[in-house]
Chain A
Amino acid sequence: MDCINAKFVSQKISKTRWRPVSSASLHQPDIFATGSWDNEDNKVSIWSIGEHGVSNMDDEFEGDPQLLCEYKHNGDVLDLQFLDQERIATASSTGAVTIFRHHQNSQTLSVAQLWDRAHHYPCDDAPCTGLVCNSPEIVTIGEDGRINLFRADHKGILRTIENADSSTIHAVTFLRTTEVLTVNSFGQLKLWDFRQQSNEPSQILSLTGNRVPLHCVDRHPNQQHIVATGGQDGMLCLWDVRQGTMPLSMMEAHSAEMWEVHFHPSNTDHLFTCSEDGSLLHWESSTSSSVPSFLQGGRNTSAMSRSTVAPGDGNQSLTSGWLSGDSSKGHLETTHMLPSQTLSVNSLDVLDQCLVCGTDGEAIYINRESSDEIESRDCGCTDQAGARRCEEEPGCTN
């Protein structure tokens, strides 16, 4: 009994990202990039799940990702993001920041820009732990506590905030064009406004009495003041950066580090988290049942059947579900999206009806649901967290 298909790729995957779909086209995303880590030779790879890949031999099932091209990456890929349709920015454990160009005619990759030692200690290399793109600007962060601002077409560094943090900065996101938010290993959220010349954060938020490191952050696609963070203890927090220094809501999501959290870019009452504990969770803030549910096709069940039918409270705004934030009250449903796994799910990305994630078990999982592809499947039982886990036979391969 399989829910989504695994593709084994012989490298530990640290990052997976869909190539953005141009707003004009009605296409579903079909190209994604991956980055690897902890291999002797790390790579950035481009994959296709559409037709324009290498046309496929015999019986491989449709949608099995095909490798289009790859390029050696010096050091672990600690972060990766599409700058635009053709360019990809990566963060390396060597401290380098690289922009790769994907030549779609020849299906090759090349290095368009390289900032060596963008992050560094006085002597040693310091890993660049994350980056965020808002083309043409790129903001990078590192174990060295620096924040760098680059412009893709500009060799120099536009701005560096030295000692932005005395601990490691783990993740960064744009709040608006001039403002970024970072999270660190002291459990703090810091806002930085590039319009200000001061090297001090404009605001700091943290859980009092709790120094649990935060590993990931994502901003609500429509409401710029709402952010979600994930911590070392697997806790999911939602914050309103305008209001106070306390999170709006806290949810126990995972039993180990939460590596990524993502709001669905267009269906914002859906949120996804993945963790070192080997699980990938789909969170749905139940608002109105009349809203067509993401990843829930025309037929009534999908790989992620719903565990409880939440009391419909039709008048809530999209975000209020998150902000009320108490899963026990039935406002939130969580669903396990992967078969019981043992190794970490390091990254996930979601766009339209497509989700891709990558693991330390050297597998890429793709979930691409459309109304005519879903087959009715009964997947397992309710686990203690009230979430549905999609169980497979022990050792089921594919």
Chain B
Amino acid sequence: MEEVDVEPTTTPIPGIDFTQKHLGFVWGPGDILVYETKYGATGAASVDQGCPFVHVVRKDEDIYSPILRKLFNESHHIFVGLQKIKEDVPSKNKKSQFVSISKNYRSVIRACMEELQQVAVSTRDATLATQYGNQVSILLAVELIWNLCEVLFIEAAPAGALQLHLLDWVRLHKADVDEKAREVLQSESPAEHPAYWDVAISYVLQGRTDEARQVLVKQASLQPAARLMFKLLDSLLMKMPVYNPGGNQTLTEFDVKWRHWREECDRCLQDNSFASNRHLEAICKILVGDEDTLLEYKELLGTWYHFLVTRLLYSHPTVKPTELHYYAQSSMDMFLETRSGPEPLDSILLAAFEFDIHQVIKDCSIALNNWWFVAHLTDLLDHCKLLQSHNLHFGSNLREFLLLEYGAGLFTHHSLWQLAVGYFDHCPEFGRVYLELQIERVPLDSERKALKVLRICEERQMAEQVRSICKIMAKRALRNDRLGSALSWSIRAKDAAFATLISERFLQDYCTPAPSYREFHKLYGDKRFVEAATLLLSLMTAKIAPQSFWMTLLTDALPLLEQKQVIFSADQTYELMHCLEELTAGKTIPNTDHPMQDEDVEVTKVELLRLALARNLAQAIVKEGTVDG
């Protein structure tokens, strides 16, 4: 596979003299910051004043277009739906599903394109209009390529039907004929309109014989002398056989019928039936697929691929998929001979006609500015099992590579990060680790946003990210003296040490002076387990039991802490915490990496106790608030 080697683009940074200074930089979440600096300085006071600017350099611009945002959001929906298509659906049913998904993607592109077109026309800003115009052109190209890929690879129409699909493709992308036709037919005297014959011939070039006949009728009525000639052409056009893939007719039967019709057209030419009217003669020559005549109408055809499809229509309507590449190459050569060589779009379409899917994807990623198109198309083709059969040894990696690039691009955007999650979810190899790296960088501006980020992490069992986000939020709440919030975040982070620390501050702030815990004994007098709890606590706090027995007592407290109703009050919980800390203060917690089981159990027990105590404290505070109120 050849690799196109293109010079990387250079982005100018204003105000920095590259001959004298260095360009410092730092990666940001969606941008890169650059500044003037001088490396290798020794530390002696420098002589020159630095350039005082830091420049924010952004990478992709399309992602900031509000209209393209609709494309990203709508296609995300389609993408997620596509991933849900079950493996066990019979492949025959799947094909129609894939075609319909492909059409959905294209309809989203079209909707976007139309909206861009509208704003391009309505904007007064010339630069913006150009920008929108360029985006329209790119989407137009994208849709053209996608449509062809849909016909050739996904629909994979056999001979006969293939020609019909290609005709639809050309008609859809050369819709200016209809506009011109409307203009001509609505004029006072259509037959005398300067574009009259252009319209008639354009219709014929697109195989739209019925419409061509309707246009020709206008001229026929003006030229009673040529009535017979018009009638002859009309009957040729009317009789032109069209293959009906759903009908009873076999392809061979159609072919025989078509050959008869063509011979009839040929005879008319040889008889010079249309010799007196060059337009009618030209139309008849088109009907027999005369290449020189077709090439005379280059302007009307516009593109080599229109020429190709018209040529196939009138010369090889039963073309097989495997023969396409030959006609495509020769059509391109014939059509472009006077012009300069092929441009990127030409090469991409040619590669598609050659059924070289990989080349199409590769060329598209080089020529287009956005991963959106290649990522979604490749994913769809991969679902159609087209990449494996195309003997690409890296098949699914290509899909994942493109999806990861697209997803990472979404993460550089302030708002689109939620969409990226759906793409990373469907990248089996690196999706998870990409998500882990990116999701924890999402700024947590409000608790609402933190909860949304947290939900994404929790649904995917990303324990470390969950812990980290909760810890950041707890730390922030503590800094702002929001102890209740800090406590609930640290409990959610399962950070026992931090929860204990906050609990202590809580008690300092809210429970001073701490009433004697003994006062609480009486409040809970009647219930036996509460008595047990207080007794247990007093055994420790009154130093009745030796410290060596404390861990046993604390472990006995665990089931009481796990009770649904709150048994230990906030202050009692604090006392218990105090005991636990006193007990563990002397010991350094052994490194958990050591395979020393006894210590591990001990550490787990301490952690469990801390969490249970913190939880109990939170509940106690809530409960006491409730009772007091």
Contact = CB atoms under 8 A, between A and B. Distances in A.
B483 interface: yes
Contacts of B564: 208-209
Interface stretch (B98-106, B273-281, B316-324, B343-351): B98-106
B81 A394 contact: yes
Contact of B70 (A203, A204, A256, A362): A362
A257 B455 contact: yes
Contacts of B618: 186, 211
B253 interface: no
Contacts of A129: 446-448
Interface stretch (A119-127, A265-273, A309-317): A119-127
B619 A211 contact: yes
Q: Decide if the interface of chain A is mainly helix, strand, loop or mixed.
A: loop
Interface stretch (A106-114, A163-171, A221-229, A348-356): A163-171
| Residue of A11, A12, A342, A344 ringed by the most chain B CB atoms within 10 A | A342
A358 to B, nearest CB: 13
Nearest to A363: B73
A38 B446 CA distance: 10
B439 to A, nearest CB: 14
Given A204-B626, A257-B451, A397 B104 contact: yes
B244 interface: no
Interface size, B (range)? 35 or more
Contacts of A204: 625-626, 629
A64 to B, nearest CB: 12
Given A76-B445, A185-B488, A122 B415 contact: no
A168 B82 CA distance: 40
Interface residues of A, number: 60
Contact of A397 (B97, B108, B445, B623): B108
B508 interface: no
B485 A166 contact: yes
B608 to A, nearest CB: 18
B73 A8 contact: yes
Contacts of A232: 451
Nearest to A340: B81
A12 B415 contact: yes
Contact of A143 (B85, B105, B419, B485): B485
Contacts of B460: none
Contacts of A165: 484
A235 interface: no
A152 B108 CA distance: 44
B480 interface: yes
A276 interface: yes
Contact of B625 (A78, A188, A394, A397): A188
A362 B446 contact: no
Contacts of B619: 209, 211
Contact of A93 (B85, B446, B621, B622): B446
B415 A40 contact: yes
Interface in B55-80: 66-67, 69-70, 73-74, 76-80
Contacts of A211: 488, 618-619, 622
Contacts of A37: 448-449
Contact of A208 (B69, B104, B565): B565
Given A8-B73, A122-B480, A395 B622 contact: no
A53 interface: no
B526 to A, nearest CB: 19
B84 interface: yes
Contacts of B626: 188, 204-206, 245
A276 B455 contact: yes
A143 B447 contact: yes
A124 to B, nearest CB: 6
Contacts of A121: 480-482
A7 to B, nearest CB: 10
A130 to B, nearest CB: 10
A168 to B, nearest CB: 5
B452 A344 contact: yes
Contact of A8 (B70, B82, B565): B70
A276 B100 CA distance: 29
Contacts of B419: 343
A326 interface: no
Contacts of A298: none
Contact of A166 (B445, B448, B484): B484
A186 B77 contact: no
B414 A39 contact: yes
A10 B415 CA distance: 10
A143 to B, nearest CB: 6
Contact of A200 (B104, B449, B629): B629
Contacts of A78: 446, 448
Given A38-B414, A208-B623, A276 B488 contact: no
Interface in A238-282: 245, 256-257, 276
B446 to A, nearest CB: 4
A197 to B, nearest CB: 16
25 contacts: A8-B69, A8-B70, A10-B70, A37-B449, A40-B414, A121-B480, A123-B480, A124-B480, A126-B480, A127-B445, A129-B446, A129-B447, A143-B482, A167-B487, A202-B629, A206-B622, A211-B619, A276-B452, A276-B455, A342-B77, A394-B81, A395-B79, A395-B82, A395-B104, A396-B104
A-B pairs, top 10 by smallest CB distance, nearest first, are A394-B81, A166-B484, A395-B78, A167-B484, A121-B480, A10-B66, A395-B81, A8-B70, A204-B629, A209-B564
Given A40-B415, A200-B629, 12 more contacts: A8-B70, A39-B415, A129-B446, A129-B448, A143-B485, A145-B482, A166-B482, A232-B451, A257-B451, A342-B80, A362-B73, A396-B104
Interface of A: 8, 10-12, 37-40, 76, 78, 93, 121-124, 126-127, 129, 143-145, 165-168, 185-188, 190, 200-206, 208-209, 211, 213, 232, 245, 256-257, 276, 340-344, 360-363, 393-397
